[in-house]
Amino acid sequence: MRSNHLLLFVLALGLPSCAPAAPADAAADSEIDLEDVVTLLCRGSVTTAPSAGDAGRHITWTAYTSESTPASLGTAYARTVSDTPSETDARGCTTWRVPADAPSETVSICPVSAAGPWSGCPEPVPDGTRAVMLSSSMSLSE
């Protein structure tokens, strides 16, 4: 069920009607609506090299920017999946793997200073961006 919620969330964010990012003040951090605070930056994909017994994996990703802090964006996202993050890495990126027992989708929320695939987007990250949200899914290559 959580996977369906994530898919609906990602599809809604991908629509051209996404509102421009608006800063969330500290008092409203736990009340922000993701659709109101993220803006589509770009999409991309990559295919991993095949290995013994594995045809390789095809990863598609979508990057969004936000003027909200990574912490407030993470709080808002966690409410949509009713789950705790899987990990926080050395870059400060917090990642959710959905569903947790057999993940097919991943969402990471990173500080704008973190390195990630969005650095290759045709348009630069807008001024005022404080967080980047990266949604990705993986399938077997054909």
Percent of the chain surpassing pLDDT 90: 39
> Higher confidence at residue 7 or residue 64?
64
| pLDDT score of 138 | 83
Is it the case that residue 28 has pLDDT exceeding 80? no
Residue 113 neighbours by CB under 8 Å, 6+ apart:
92
When mean pLDDT is compared over 33-42, 69-78, 85-94, 126-135, the highest value belongs to 126-135
Interatomic CA distance for residues 83 and 106, integer angstroms = 13
Answer yes or no: are the C-beta atoms of 131 and 70 closer than 8 Å.
yes
Q: Which residue has the tokens 């629509």?
A: 15
